Amino acid sequence: MTLDLFAGIPVRDYGAALAWYERLLGSAPSFLPNATEAVWELADHRFVYIEELPERAGYAMHTAFVEDFDARVAEIADRGIEPIEREVYSNGVRKAIYRDPDGNEISFGGGPVEEKDGP
């Protein structure tokens, strides 16, 4: 069964949000459906999109669990965006939380840090 997921993020100012999400995600959108919407494909059939909907902006909460957590967070920092918060759960799972200019929460999660055997 094929499943396409589109996770929407309402924003107030499309232009400002577009620039911020390009920095966060590290690329231009995968496609632009119209003048106030931009879509990024994060993985096969898994998309996140912004849409100018000022009355609904600021309430999105999305987490993408990634294998390359440390590298991802470092790359985002290199593009000038730092997480507003970092969490480590009791099972070692990590989370870096970002907030866009409207207050939408976009997070990346990663597995526990693997312990190295021996010296």
User: How do residues 6-15 score in pLDDT, each as one tens digit?
Assistant: 999 999 999 9
Please tell me the pTM assigned to this model: 0.91
CA–CA separation, 29 and 14 (whole Å): 13
- Mean pLDDT, the chain, whole residue set: 95
Q: Which of 3, 16, 15, 18 is nearest to 49 (CA)?
A: 18
Fold of 5-110: 2,3-Dihydroxybiphenyl 1,2-Dioxygenase; domain 1 (3.10.180)
E-assigned strands of the chain? 5-11, 31-34, 37-43, 46-52, 61-65, 85-88, 94-99, 105-110
User: How do residues 43-57 score in pLDDT, each as one tens digit?
Assistant: 999 999 999 999 999
User: How do residues 71-96 score in pLDDT, each as one tens digit?
Assistant: 999 999 999 999 999 999 999 999 99
Beta bridge partners of 105: 61, 99
**Residue ranges per structural domain of the chain:** 5-110
